[in-house]
Structure 1
Amino acid sequence: MTPPIEAVWRLEATRLIAALLRAGASLALAEDCVQDALVAAMQRWPAEGWPERPGAWLMTVAKHRLLDRMRHAQMAAREQQALGNDADSRAAHLAPDPLDLLLADEADEVGDDALRLMFIACHPKLAREAQWALTLRLVAGLTVAEIARALFAKESTIAQRITRAKAQLAGEPFELPPASERTARLEAVCTVLYLMFNEGYVASSGAEWTRPTLCHEALRLARHLAALLPTEADAQALQALMELQASRLPARTDALGRPVLLMDQDRSRWDHLLLRRGLTALTRCRNLNALKSQGPGILTLQAELAAVHARATHAEDTDWPQLLRFYDALLALQPSPVVALNRAIALSHAVGPAQALPLVEALLLTGYPWWASARADMLQRLDRIEEAREALRQAIAWTGNERERVLLMERLGHM
């Protein structure tokens, strides 16, 4: 696939699949028709020139493929009817009129096909890990390799989860679940949206340090979710967290596209409109928690952590003891190695690297470059330079992002 077509594909695939699902296609049929449209584009665009509206072109071709397949299904059903199938059998096999489905314009409470697709993919009949994998593939358009890195799993495991999940959802209607089910699926939807945002915030592979388009799409969906569920603290917390982290995107790379880590960023380049939006959403979240007499959840604590950094005008103004308190609370709710690593980093700044390093070395994060990088930083601050260099070499070997690799190699060269 040529890079320009691949870029259009990443932007349009989710919308195309969602539109065909709304038109009555099964998930497998929708994916087949959209793949047919992609193949047609790869064959025709290089020879005939690019259409003025590539997304609309792909949508038209995909819908025509769906119409053809639905009409063939109708013909088969009519042939079965002619052979004397009973009424119940005919009703089960007869396809609805495809033109009626494609031209229908029913009221849509969600108003966004991608968000609607997320609620479908996060179906309660699926295991949590399967919900995450399927949604990241369908909505975020991540590759199996990218999903595997995000979920700390093997690629073969992720591929199997996606295949099984699609089979389990065969025949499920493409419709927004009722309010009671919507709330039950909210945690999974929020988790997937944040995983999607993170892949854009720090790309796990490729030539670029960030994928801003992916971040902005995740943020757009998070805003839509918060508006759809104004009384859900998690929805408000997710928006707050993404707004605050997205505010740093302009400062995360220099003029040459090279990575700039948080403590080295020019904070005057942060997007202050997004900062204000994030802090406002966090206030809404706090008010909802207080109204319901409940403590902060995982997303709220993550937003609180982002807010501590947002309020520090300069890196040296960071309130590390407060960050450590929030990480203590987060680790109690989410005892994961990555949270423990971030808590140890905060501890190294609040108390010192000597106390934090044993905690880092006790973690099992093989293959995670930021674990090795954090360990190298603490070793360097303790003047254990040769060990720090070896830890950086390990981080370089583990990273799949080219910009990150260059950054780590520069650190190694200056050590």
Structure 2
Amino acid sequence: MNVHAAPRDGLSARLAQRLFPTWLDGALSLCTLAIVIWLAWSFGRWAFTQADWRVIGESLRFLMAGGLDRAQIWRAWAASYLFLALVGLSLARLFDGRGWHWALGAALVLLSAESMLRLALDTPLALPLLLFAALLLGWAGARLVTARWLVLAWVAGTIVMWQILIPGTGRAVGGLLLGTLVTVVAALGSFPLGVLLALGRTSRLPGVRMVCSGYIELVRSLPLISILFWAWMVVPLVLPADIRINDVVRGTAGFVLFYAAYVAEYVRGGLQGIPAGQWGASWSLGMTTAQTLRHVILPQAIRTVLPGLVGNVLDIFNNVPLLFIIGLTEFVRAGQVVLSNPQHSDQLYEVYVFMFAVYLLIAMVLSWSARVVEQKGRAASA
């Protein structure tokens, strides 16, 4: 009898091959599993028996929307309707309008999120139901929308959300709502600027190449905090006294200018991976340089570096807390303000665990979306 016979196919066989290939690996796997179980048990016991989560319920409105008062809270709801409709539209396009189980899972997650938002914004049940309907409407509308129109929808929707939230609220808007808005605007704004910088850096014109290369290297050598501080302190000094720019606008502009340099490097790497023969083949078909870039070169380059671009969006969201430098109360800063209240000063772990869970959920969704997009890109290019 052969004791070393190959195990049969199945989940248990795959787990055995990966976790217990040798006795040493098996011992390490068991020790790691024991530590994970102990940590999970300790956290669960604290979360369900010792933690006081009332601080989250009492401060949820401030954590989600900042200092918006009741007269302005409609702005948060209007922006949330539009944002969830765009999310539903994007999810449906991601799965080509199929996969009802993915739609149901995404709807349940977002329904729980909007229920928390309803509690935070202190509104009747009809509003979150409309919010949920906006998500499903976006999902259904994806069958009528192409990828190009989806991009235009995000651009137009972001402009509308910005006009709803920023001009009428000043510095009052904050919390997770502000972080999400800045992330979306910075991601959409830095992409076209980064593409232009990448094309300029690979240009045959020495002046254009020198300016673009100098900008990219200068910005990448500076920390983001210095760019934000410059946008906050220096910009008002060079403008006339009667021109005042909103702090949110200045902070978002700093993010756009900073991350455009990183987008440019991603796109430049994708451009260098395109075979030179594709330029000649396009020209032989009578295509101009602009047509070649638009229809042949750039789509392939962007598809190649798409996971890195999605990771760039996640990096933007993770760095949004730096907006506290210019006095804005984003999500993390809102949590610190809550803890500065003497009534909640001893709920440090509860507040930070809640913020960690929110950041983890958003990071998981973005990472999962990047993997799905990468798989679809590989299938399209195969």
> Do these two structures clear the TM 0.5 threshold for a shared fold by scoring above it?
no
TM (norm. structure 1) is 0.23
Name the structure where helix makes up a greater proportion of residues.
2
Larger RCO of the pair (alpha carbons < 8 Å, separation 6+)? 2
